[in-house]
Amino acid sequence: MKLLDEIKVAIVEDEAISSDELKYIISKDGRFKVVGQAYDGISALTLIESEEPDIAFIDINIPGKNGIKLAEDVKEIFPDIILIFLTAYDTYAIRAFELKVYDYILKPYDEKRIAESLNCALNTISNRNENEIINILSKLENKQALKKIPCENNGKIILIDVNKISFFYSEGERNYVKTNKDIYCTTKTLQELTEKTNFFRCHRSYVVNLEKVKEVYPWFNGTYKLIIDDDENNEIPVSRSHVKEIKIILGL
């Protein structure tokens, strides 16, 4: 799932001239960005795992690992990726259908045909994103939020107002509640705290109150960091798997 600011495309084609021709055709439409070109099945899988493109054009007859096997491997990792086969032959159409390949384009390339395929793919991505955005926001709205969280403090149980909490986090085998100045232990799991508050699970070890976030900035390898408006200006990591969700929620 992604916001439709940039549709990432990968090209897998063993002939450099054909690959560059396809890149040129795709790049003429500013809505799409070619993030990489691979010339064999092995390097193609590495490229797709690294860049996580929305669309991959795959030539069936490529060395190392043919396009059919590559498509099978890619679908296991990224089931929602849109795959478009490229071939000079139509003998693979049935297998392409079985793999739920989005389109099947015969060579030589026809610019109009490729544009039609890209437009259809864009509509599919747009509709898919709209449904996922609705689901994400619906889950947030339907939570039955707790108003206070029970915490341990010097052998007693105290109730901390949720509005005063900046984030929850785990360290070792213990879970903690962080307010502006203080830290408390809680027996509740991060999963329970996520389900019972309107906080956001941005990382396996962190659940953050988005009302306390004052800055967001990109970090390394596709991750983000959140700066919390508390005394320490704590930095909270956002894992790659949650970046797209938080961009939707915060309207980034």
Q: How far apart are CA 139 and CA 152, in angstroms?
A: 29
Single out the residue in 131, 164, 187 at which a domain terminates.
Answer: 131
Q: How many other CB atoms are there within 10 angstroms of residue 27's CB atom?
A: 12
213 located within any domain: yes
Is the same domain home to 166 and 208? yes
Token pair 């390898």 in the structure block, residue:
221
The pLDDT confidence band at residue 134, using thresholds 50, 70 and 90, is low
223 located within any domain: yes
Is the same domain home to 111 and 45? yes
Q: Which stretch of 54-63, 132-141, 209-218 has the lowest confidence by average pLDDT?
A: 132-141
Is the same domain home to 90 and 12? yes
The pLDDT confidence band at residue 241, using thresholds 50, 70 and 90, is confident
Task: Say what the pLDDT of residue 218 is.
Answer: 84
Task: Say what the pLDDT of residue 138 is.
Answer: 63
Q: What integer is the mean pLDDT of 117-141?
A: 74
Q: How many other CB atoms are there within 10 angstroms of residue 238's CB atom?
A: 23
Q: What integer is the mean pLDDT of 120-149?
A: 71
Task: Say what the pLDDT of residue 3 is.
Answer: 43
Report the domain count for the chain.
Answer: 2
125 located within any domain: yes
Single out the residue in 76, 106, 131 at which a domain terminates.
Answer: 131
Residue 212 · residue 166 · CB < 8 Å? yes
Single out the residue in 104, 131, 158 at which a domain terminates.
Answer: 131
The pLDDT confidence band at residue 230, using thresholds 50, 70 and 90, is confident
Is the same domain home to 117 and 158? no
The pLDDT confidence band at residue 234, using thresholds 50, 70 and 90, is very high
Q: What integer is the mean pLDDT of 141-163?
A: 80
The pLDDT confidence band at residue 126, using thresholds 50, 70 and 90, is confident
Q: What integer is the mean pLDDT of 56-75?
A: 90
Is the same domain home to 115 and 153? no
* CATH number for the domain that contains residue 68: 3.40.50.2300
140 located within any domain: no
Q: How far apart are CA 234 and CA 83, in angstroms?
A: 41
* CATH number for the domain that contains residue 246: 2.40.50.1020
- Expressed as residue numbers, the domain containing 204 is 148-250
Is the same domain home to 119 and 188? no
Residue 130 · residue 138 · CB < 8 Å? no
Query: 54: which 2 tokens?
Result: 């929305």
Is the same domain home to 116 and 21? yes
Is the same domain home to 169 and 73? no
Task: Say what the pLDDT of residue 89 is.
Answer: 66
Is the same domain home to 233 and 174? yes
Residue 2 pLDDT > 50, yes or no?
Answer: no
Task: Say what the pLDDT of residue 97 is.
Answer: 58
Q: What integer is the mean pLDDT of 143-147?
A: 65
142 located within any domain: no
Task: Say what the pLDDT of residue 48 is.
Answer: 94
